[in-house]
Structure 1
Amino acid sequence: MTETLDPEDAKIITLARSVRARNGSTEGAAVRDETGRTYAASGVDLPSLQLTAVQVAVAMAVTSGAKALEATALVTEADGPAEQDLSVMEDLHNGTLLLAGPDGSLKGRHV
């Protein structure tokens, strides 16, 4: 998919790629809240707690006072977001999910 991204959308894809690479994770995510603040995270895979990267990034935003999301970036080799990622986004009044490959190329948008 060839598409020119808004600079703010490109920024959250870059943040998601960075956290994924830094942590050696299968996926990285970044969210931008209604005030423009950004939060980046990788998933959690512990015996007693499993969270997707999107769930962790959203939790970080919520605990910092976010009431809504403008956009979410998910960097993964998967073909699409997990159902729980879309659900947690809906909890915060949705926003756009940008799905990107590990190289940062946009694979799709989910609104």
Structure 2
Amino acid sequence: MLPAMSDAASVDPEDRKIITLARSARARNGVPEGAAVRDETGRTYVAGTVALASLELSALRTAVAMAVASGAMSLEAAAVVSAPGPDAPAEADLAAVRDLGGPGTPVFLADPAGEIRSVTHT
């Protein structure tokens, strides 16, 4: 966890960027969640919740899938923006980040205003 969740200065600018991208995806697409991940080269992948009759994916699993499909070899960080709810991403979301990012990858969970609610390390 971060020492003070409301202290934006304690968040790395690159991590703040993926939180902002996740916020934008959520707002632009009108979906329950937005997510962004950053790979080992600094590229970012942004996604929203997928809710089709034949396919349902969280925003974070969609962003991880996009990174894998684009050739990412690992993840440096991930962010999810959602309405108030659980204090950590779902275990299936964390598992997807862990599969590509390995243990210790930070996953930021923020509210729609971009305030960080928690940081979980996979």
**Corresponding residue of 1:99:** 109
- Once the 2 structures are TM-superposed, how far is the Cα of residue 105 of structure 1 from its aligned partner? 0.3
Q: Structure 2 matches for 1:38-77, cutoff 5 A?
A: 38-77=44-83
TM-score (norm 1): 0.96
- Once the 2 structures are TM-superposed, how far is the Cα of residue 83 of structure 1 from its aligned partner? 1.3
- Once the 2 structures are TM-superposed, how far is the Cα of residue 90 of structure 1 from its aligned partner? 1.1
**Corresponding residue of 1:86:** 94
Percent identity for Structure 1 against Structure 2? 57
5+ unaligned residues in a row in structure 2: which ranges?
none
TM-score (norm 2): 0.87
Q: Say which SS state the counterpart of residue 19 (structure 1) adopts.
A: helix
Distance 2:41 2:96 in 1: 18
**Corresponding residue of 2:17:** 11
Number of residue pairs matched?
Answer: 111
Distance 1:56 1:89 in 2: 11
What amino acid is the match of 1:69? L
- Once the 2 structures are TM-superposed, how far is the Cα of residue 74 of structure 1 from its aligned partner? 0.4
CA deviations on 1:14-73 (whole Å, 9 max, x unpaired) are: 000000000001110000001110010001111110000001100110011111110000
Distance 2:48 2:91 in 1: 17
Distance 1:8 1:46 in 2: 32
Distance 1:91 1:55 in 2: 11
- Once the 2 structures are TM-superposed, how far is the Cα of residue 5 of structure 1 from its aligned partner? 1.1
5+ unaligned residues in a row in structure 1: which ranges?
none
